[in-house]
Structure 1
Amino acid sequence: MKTIIDWNRVSTALEEVNTPNLNVIPDNIVFNNDIDIVIGILIKPIRSVVKRCQRKVPVNSDRRSLPAVVRKLIRAKNAALRRASAYPTLEYRSLARVLHCEVKARVREVKNENWSTLMEEIT
């Protein structure tokens, strides 16, 4: 399992935190033990907010993972686009356009497969 933290929610939640314990912190700290206590007082609300704003997800649920074939196709398309930009011939532009359409179609297929898999898991 992997932990994902929604930092926008953390930021919003920290703005709304009511911390009366922070008023207890003395102005002058003399002993090392007092430093540890103050650090604990400061960290406790932050730790609780972060804990509320995190969730655990399976490691393999990375939404950016694409099959190796599609990644290879994307690399080929990017190379063709760079080539067409450097040497603007009809042949290079046509190849880039064909690869772009192919990548678009394959990514759509992968998304549909992922969606179908998710729906099967839910039902």
Structure 2
Amino acid sequence: MQQVPAPFSRHLRVHQHRDHAVLEFLGEIDIAAAVEIAPYLDRVTTHPDARIVIDLRSVEFFDCSGLRLLYRARSRVLDHGGQLHLVCTHPLTLRVLRITGLSRLLPPHPTPDAALGQPEATSGTL
């Protein structure tokens, strides 16, 4: 996957882990954060065979804007033959993912290593 430079954002940090791009969401993921994150997320999720981990462990608040980011990223990655894994440990964010059913489509894992140990993590169906 060609690396796309990460934008300066207080809500996003990007690094490599094994052969995956890890997009670490930071702080409060609300509509303002989504506006900052979405253009970068859209660019990296359209690469053929993209390998991405979205890490929510540093998220303090997560609303429907964050859910939209995750659902859109999942759809785009799958449309281009890639892989998307989710890392999340915050109890309230996990609850939101469970209640909305997104956790069935994008199962959360406690660490990037745990997520990457699951080769079919994006194959869930609603």
* TM > 0.5 fold call: no
Structure having the larger proportion of residues in strand: 2
Query: Which has the greater radius of gyration?
Result: 1
Q: Which structure carries more relative contact order (alpha carbon 8 Å, separation 6+)?
A: 1
| TM-score normalised by L of structure 2 | 0.22
Structure having the larger proportion of residues in helix: 1
| TM-score normalised by L of structure 1 | 0.22
